[in-house]
Chain A
């Protein structure tokens, strides 16, 4: 069961990366909303994932994206930060009756409020850091925040839609 899951997982991440690099790279809505679908692997990684593995994976995938985006280190930086913040977000969003041991992160198993709060925190921290790092200029902070916010909203819509393809087993 674990092996087949990892296999599917690996394919999904690869697919997200390909989509990101080949199609989404050149797409920006109104010049402010960018879609970073590759963050999917961070969002959907099982709750009990080894944090070391997650950090290393985030760094590696971030690097890979950076290579294609010509933004060496920026995506990797943001990804590693988000990977590290993930347990913090889990703690902040702990439901009243705690987490179910087996629960995975999906709209089916979590309340939609929890899911979208979690999405917002993850995407916003990643995008904000990324855009600030990219701008590298405090005078552009307003524009960077706007871009991060727009991209986060777009991201939440996209990830929400992706959840509908997740059929109950």
Chain B
């Protein structure tokens, strides 16, 4: 205690200086109208900017949750969209109605991509939903922009998806404008580009045409976008166009995908299994 007083006595000049300056400064901001408002404005500004920054950081940390919510909501919207699409009357004069079972055959489920590759020649994705969530091998996987692939195998909580970027995974496709059928096949390099095969060279194909999944697709719902025609070529003694398709799906930055459950897939498979086999 004595030492404290000794210290205070030794530093009395600077202490008095600081005390007086504090009092004066307080007076400046207390009794001068301009400085008074300045003080309040400034402190408010600082406080506001600090609060805004805090809010921003919080928002950033909530982004994951927000994304998840949005993905789930998108899945619902997609289900509804697919239902409405199948409700559309085809352009025919025949009396046609869609059964409820057909209407509600597709259901979308949002999943998070937890692992994936794009650089291999056979690429796969791992998603965070599995058999317990109703996913089964063979289901279609799409993203918000286009096709992604097909479920290959499931565990209880995870699933492995064969990407479209897989040399032995082909997708039945058609040109949206002309309705020409073909199939999409990835050549094994360049994750943005795939080939559209089997389009006859006598059909007209224009650069910029949209490629979508075909109506006869066993896996994907019809009219899911795949990509656009980027280059149309023709080899001399070839029967088909050599078409390069720019894929819509950005595989490198894929975070959420939608698994499409087809409620009638089992029925269809069973039914088609009864076809007499060609000898």
- Give chain A's interface residues, CB within 8 Å of chain B: 51-52, 55-56, 58-59, 62, 66, 71-74, 76-77, 80-81, 83-84, 133, 136-137
Assess whether B51 is interfacial by the CB under 8 Å rule: no
Say yes or no: A73 contacts B20, CB within 8 Å: no
Say yes or no: A52 contacts B28, CB within 8 Å: no
Q: Contacts A136-B34, A136-B35, A136-B38 hold; do A74 and B17 have CB atoms under 8 A apart?
A: no
- Give chain B's interface residues, CB within 8 Å of chain A: 12-14, 16-17, 20-21, 23-32, 34-35, 38
Say yes or no: A72 contacts B31, CB within 8 Å: yes
Chain B hits for A83, CB < 8 A = 17
Q: Which 9 A-B pairs have the closest CB atoms?
A: A73-B27, A72-B31, A73-B28, A77-B24, A76-B24, A73-B24, A84-B17, A80-B20, A59-B20
Say yes or no: A80 contacts B34, CB within 8 Å: no
Q: Contacts A136-B35, A136-B38 hold; do A73 and B16 have CB atoms under 8 A apart?
A: no
Chain B residue nearest to A54 in the complex (CB):
B13
Chain B residue nearest to A76 in the complex (CB):
B24
Say yes or no: A72 contacts B32, CB within 8 Å: yes
Say yes or no: B28 contacts A55, CB within 8 Å: no
CB distance from B223 to the nearest CB of A (A): 60
- Report how far A51 CA is from B15 CA in the complex, Å: 12
If A52-B12, A73-B27 are given as contacts, then 4 extra A-B residue pairs at C-beta distance below 8 Å, sorted by A number, are: A73-B25, A74-B24, A76-B24, A84-B14
CB distance from A10 to the nearest CB of B (A): 21
- Report how far A59 CA is from B22 CA in the complex, Å: 11
Chain A hits for B24, CB < 8 A = 59, 62, 73-74, 76-77, 80
Say yes or no: B31 contacts A52, CB within 8 Å: no
Say yes or no: B38 contacts A73, CB within 8 Å: no
Chain A hits for B28, CB < 8 A = 71-74, 77, 133
Q: Which of B12, B21, B35 contacts A81 (CB 8 A)?
A: B21
Chain B hits for A81, CB < 8 A = 21
- Report how far A81 CA is from B23 CA in the complex, Å: 12
Say yes or no: A77 contacts B32, CB within 8 Å: no
Pick from B27, B29, B38 the residue with the most CB of A within 10 Å: B27
Chain A residue nearest to B33 in the complex (CB):
A70
- Report how far A133 CA is from B29 CA in the complex, Å: 10
Chain A residue nearest to B17 in the complex (CB):
A84
Say yes or no: B31 contacts A73, CB within 8 Å: yes
Chain B hits for A84, CB < 8 A = 13-14, 17
- Report how far A101 CA is from B16 CA in the complex, Å: 26
